[in-house]
Amino acid sequence: MERRARMCAEYILDTGATVRDCAAHFNVSKSTVHKDVSERLAAIDAALAQEVRKVLDKNLAERHLRGGDATRRKYGARREKTCDRAKTAGRCVSEKQRGTSGGIY
């Protein structure tokens, strides 16, 4: 467990990975990674645990931005498909014609 905790910590520090990314990389659960880097690592190497905590705090602060980007990509792709079909029928209206500037819809 100590070895896995150190490996996860080093991976997170090297790549700036999220807990989810680290869990996928090492094929363990997110709960395991979180416990390894927050509790077990603190008992093994407090300095390393503090460095990892900084990366995890940064990821937490950026989480809402990544979620917004994913939503924008999802609905943007959906709109493109709908618009492609509507263009053939002459019904698609561009943002410029609608008077909006870059909204999701």
Neighbouring CB atoms inside 10 A of 5's CB total 25
Domain presence at residue 100: no
Domain presence at residue 25: yes
Domain presence at residue 98: no
Q: Note down the domain range covering 10.
A: 2-88
| In the predicted structure, residue 105 carries a pLDDT above the cut 60 | no
Domain presence at residue 34: yes
pLDDT range class, residue 103, cuts 50, 70, 90: low
Domain presence at residue 42: yes
Domain presence at residue 46: yes
DSSP 36: I
> How many domains in the chain?
1
Domain presence at residue 78: yes
Domain presence at residue 102: no
| In the predicted structure, residue 94 carries a pLDDT above the cut 60 | no
Question: Residue 68 has what pLDDT?
Answer: 67
**Long-range Cβ pairs for the range 75-82 (8 Å, 24+):** 75/104, 75/105, 76/104, 79/104, 79/105
| In the predicted structure, residue 42 carries a pLDDT above the cut 80 | yes
| In the predicted structure, residue 59 carries a pLDDT above the cut 70 | yes
Tens-digit pLDDT profile for residues 13-35: 898 888 888 999 999 999 999 88
Mean pLDDT for all residues in the chain: 78
Question: Residue 18 has what pLDDT?
Answer: 86
